[in-house]
Structure 1
Amino acid sequence: MNITRVLPQTARQWGLAWACSLILVVVMLVMSATTNVPLRDPDNVLPGYIRFPLIVVGVLAVDVLPRWILRMSRDRVGPVDSFKGVMRDRWPASHWWFAANGVVSWYVCYAAFRNVKSMAPIANPGLWDDRLAHLDRFFLGGHDPADVLHSMLGQGWAAHLLSDVYFLWIAMVPVSIAVALVWTRFTSAGAWFVTAVSVDWLLGALLYYVIPTVGPIYSDPKTFAHLPHTYVTELASSMWDDRVKVLADPTTYDGLQTIAAFPSLHVGIMVTITLTVVLIRVPRIVRIAAYVMLVLTILATVYLGWHFGADVIGGALLGAFAVWAAAMATGNHEGWRPALRPQEAQELDELASSALTTRP
């Protein structure tokens, strides 16, 4: 790996991602000093600095093991030589460097984001929920968006389905990061996506301080009291308990509060995922799945009471801007239009064409 060539490329690929991480770290340290709130590990069950590398290692194993077995069978060579061959082909030093930058910069951004989010109601205790609820009803002719969805979808199976969608989203984000860093060999695309998610975290965290909200499930609980008991019911209760404990004694409670509704980062990051897979022209089935998940995520966040309609719009705009900003920063653009770098775009087109024309 030629360091004189790698460093400029690293700055181009990961400069904005690292900038987002460092800005959030500075905000986190300043807020901690001014509010006297100590910094916390964002994952109290299994620390993120263990969990995220484990996810990457798991995806790495899925990437390497089948190729290792296939090479042993096809080339009839020993396991050591086969493993070395796979690692040489799939994991040269340049890709280790690429993946390490992505994992570390994103995790630093994530950990800082969680702490900054936790301190938001301490720094700005005011709430905008009534104003956002009024805005929602104004645009829906006096109707509440959640009530409309409850009437349209019913109050049984839809609650369970959308609760599962919400849970799926939670798992999907770290997995998508690992896939972008481990499975892909289109490093421009991977850096573009991971950087865009970092932009989502940064701008989302800052907006939590400007427009603090808790969301309809907490500001108007009677609207959601008739929904059946689901995973989301338990999650909402535990999140409120954490918030109460943090606000009551932020210096000693060993946890984070995670409630902040505007903008909806569930929607924002799902928009980022959807636009990315469309712009880099992944197989059609993946694009369709992304669109379906985006629609279900929007429905889930409003139906279950996590977000106002205004939060959804704000999140969607944020997610789209993050894709554009990351494209500009990572060099994936033609003028002001986001576009995968020509060489990788051509390789992806050839790969897709090959997959369509190959016959068993």
Structure 2
Amino acid sequence: MTIQAKFELDTSAVAGGGLSRLIVQSLRDNGILLVLVLAYYVAALLIGVYTATPVSTVSPTILALMLASLVPIFLATMIIWRFAYMAVAVRPAKPIAWMMQDLKSTFLYDHRRLVSGGIAILAIIFFAAVFAYVKETIPQLNPFSWDGTFARLDRQMHGGHDPYALFSPIFANATALRGLDLAYSAWFLLIYFFSFIACMDRENPMRSNSYLISFTLTWIVGGSVFAVFFSSVGPIYFADFGFGDQFAPLKDMLLGINAQYALMAVDLQAMLLENAQNNSGVSGISAMPSMHLATSWIMAFHAFRFGKTLGWIMVGFAVVIQLGSVMLGWHYAIDGYAGFLVAAVCWFAGAKLARVQSRIDRSSARA
């Protein structure tokens, strides 16, 4: 069947009353993901009642702004994804013509991909908004108190030294820190990239559901449950929150390099601290576990499903993020180790739940 014929059939099905059926089917495709997001939202509402703080981050205005800001990233992600697929797997004689036809068939003709993927994207955006609220309530639920313990554990686990001091001979210089700072910032783009691709990956539903479910579980378990229980601020804020001057040399080193070569981490750290002190703007501060590390490992596990080379590249990225989290003062080394454990457990659980989702999909297809 030609693409044009397929388009005509799909359009006819949708126009003939199949749209509602397609939406129901797409909601079922994302059933477990949607249940997790809904349960998390209910938990946030309960937190709002307990703290007398409304869940303001999920207002229609904020969600619309988030969606609008992510549209360019989404489009760029789709183009890069399909280009990489063409270059590695297809290698057509006429790449430009193939790309144009593939993008048309992917974005215009595959209605189930668009609706199911769109629902998943909206769910992830809504989840991110709820998570932002939960993270900002951490000190209300459990005041920061674990930093002294984690700092001592870090020293005990690393031969009586702070981990940043062990790495300083190699990484305490402008060139290395700027590289780590850039990698740390690149994490934000990679999160969007992997998440958007998983939402739109209809070729392998098990693969995409494993990522989306484990990704969501990691933020719930690590970024919310553990973050509340082990409430901590991290080395860069150690003195600011009254835990002592143990990390003053690290902060002085970062400020000194930032004075010559701007580090994005230093500016962001100052903004978060100011907002936390003034109770305004984005002020979510939380160290344990490192969600940069946990989600980097989730991306690495997922990357191995596309190939060993990509998988090992992402493992390398996770190692760089571990170094960056310590040298930039965001985290104790133990935060990263805990992030890996959270990711491993949530990846295993996500894979199990993805198999459940697969059975649900097969049952609905037979019905």
Give the TM interval when normalised to the shorter protein: 0.7 to 0.9
Greater per-residue helix proportion: 2
Match of 1:197 in 2: 215
Match of 2:225 in 1: 206
> What SS class does the counterpart of residue 331 from structure 1 fall into?
helix
Match of 1:143 in 2: 161
Match of 2:292 in 1: 266
Match of 1:243 in 2: 276
Question: Which of 291, 311, 329 does residue 287 from structure 1 map onto?
Answer: 311
- Structure 1 pair 91/132, CA: closer, same or farther in 2 (3 Å)? farther
Question: Which of 216, 223, 231 does residue 235 from structure 2 map onto?
Answer: 216
Contact 2:26–2:112 (8 Å) recurs in 1:
no
Question: Which of 131, 143, 156 does residue 149 from structure 2 map onto?
Answer: 131
Match of 2:37 in 1: 21
Question: Which of 101, 112, 118 does residue 100 from structure 1 map onto?
Answer: 118
Contact 1:272–1:319 (8 Å) recurs in 2:
yes
- Structure 1 pair 34/322, CA: closer, same or farther in 2 (3 Å)? same
Q: Distance in 2 between matches of 1:10 and 1:332?
A: 15
Contact 2:171–2:327 (8 Å) recurs in 1:
no
Please give the per-residue CA displacement for 1:93-135, whole angstroms capped at 9, x wherever unaligned. 2212320231122112111111000111122114100000001
Match of 1:56 in 2: 74
Q: Distance in 2 between matches of 1:63 and 1:37?
A: 40
The letter for the 1-side match of 2:49 is A
- Structure 1 pair 52/332, CA: closer, same or farther in 2 (3 Å)? farther
Match of 2:140 in 1: 122
The 5-angstrom pairing of residues 1-360 of structure 1 reads 11=28, 13-41=29-57, 47-60=65-78, 86-87=104-105, 91-182=109-200, 185-203=203-221, 204-219=223-238, 220-224=246-250, 225-227=252-254, 228-229=257-258, 230-246=263-279, 253=280, 255-278=281-304, 280=305, 282-331=306-355
Unaligned runs of 5+ in 1: 247-252, 334-340, 342-360
CA RMSD of aligned residues (A): 3.4
Contact 1:14–1:330 (8 Å) recurs in 2:
no
The letter for the 2-side match of 1:108 is F
Q: Distance in 1 between matches of 2:334 and 2:168?
A: 18
Please give the per-residue CA displacement for 1:316-339, whole angstroms capped at 9, x wherever unaligned. 011111211111011189xxxxxx
- TM-score scaled by structure 1? 0.77
The letter for the 1-side match of 2:186 is L
> What SS class does the counterpart of residue 54 from structure 2 fall into?
coil
Q: Distance in 1 between matches of 2:236 and 2:172?
A: 17
The letter for the 1-side match of 2:31 is G
Q: Distance in 2 between matches of 1:130 and 1:330?
A: 39
Contact 2:164–2:326 (8 Å) recurs in 1:
yes
- Structure 1 pair 302/45, CA: closer, same or farther in 2 (3 Å)? farther
Contact 1:207–1:262 (8 Å) recurs in 2:
yes
Q: Distance in 2 between matches of 1:292 and 1:88?
A: 31
Shift of 1:9: 7.9
Identity %: 19
Count of aligned residue pairs for this structure pair: 316
Contact 2:45–2:54 (8 Å) recurs in 1:
no
- TM-score scaled by structure 2? 0.76
- Structure 1 pair 89/305, CA: closer, same or farther in 2 (3 Å)? closer
Shift of 1:205: 1.0
The letter for the 2-side match of 1:226 is M
Q: Distance in 1 between matches of 2:159 and 2:82?
A: 56
> What SS class does the counterpart of residue 70 from structure 2 fall into?
helix
Please give the per-residue CA displacement for 1:197-252, whole angstroms capped at 9, x wherever unaligned. 11111112111110100001111541321131111111111111111122xxxxxx
Shift of 1:45: 12
Q: Distance in 2 between matches of 1:88 and 1:265?
A: 32
Shift of 1:5: 9.5
Shift of 1:308: 0.9
